[in-house]
Structure 1
Amino acid sequence: MNHHTWDAYSRSYLNIQKNPASFQLSLMNMLRFEEAEEILDAGCAGGQLHQYILQQKKNNCKLAACDFSIEMVKLAAARMLKFLNNPLHGGISEISPEEIENADLSTFDISSLDCPLLEQNNYKIFQGDVQSLPQLNNNQFDIYISNMVIHLVENKDQAIQEAFRVLKPGGKIGIVIPVASGNVMMKTLTKCFIEAGLIKEIPFKPTNIETREDIINFMSKHGFQDIICWNQTIPFDLFEINDNYIFPQFKEILDKAPKEQVDQFYALYKQEISNRLTQNLPFTVESLSLIAKKPL
Structure 2
Amino acid sequence: MSHPTTSSAALTATGITLSFGRRPILDAVDLQVRRREVLALVGPNGAGKSTLLSVLAGDLTPDQGEVMLEGRSLGDWKLREMSRRRAVLTQEHRISFPFPAVDVVRMGRAPWRGCPEEDEDERVVAESMSTADIEHLAGQPFGLLSGGEKGRTSFARILAQRTGVLLLDEPTAALDIGHQETVLAHARGQAAAGAAVVVVLHDLSLAAAWSDRVALLHHGRVTAEGTPREVFTAPLLSLVYDHPIDVLTHPGTGDLLVLPDRRSLMSREETA
TM-score (norm 2): 0.32
Higher relative contact order (CA 8 A, sep 6+): 2
Give the helix-richer structure, 1 or 2.
1
TM-score, normalised to structure 1, is 0.30
Higher strand proportion (structure 1 or 2): 2
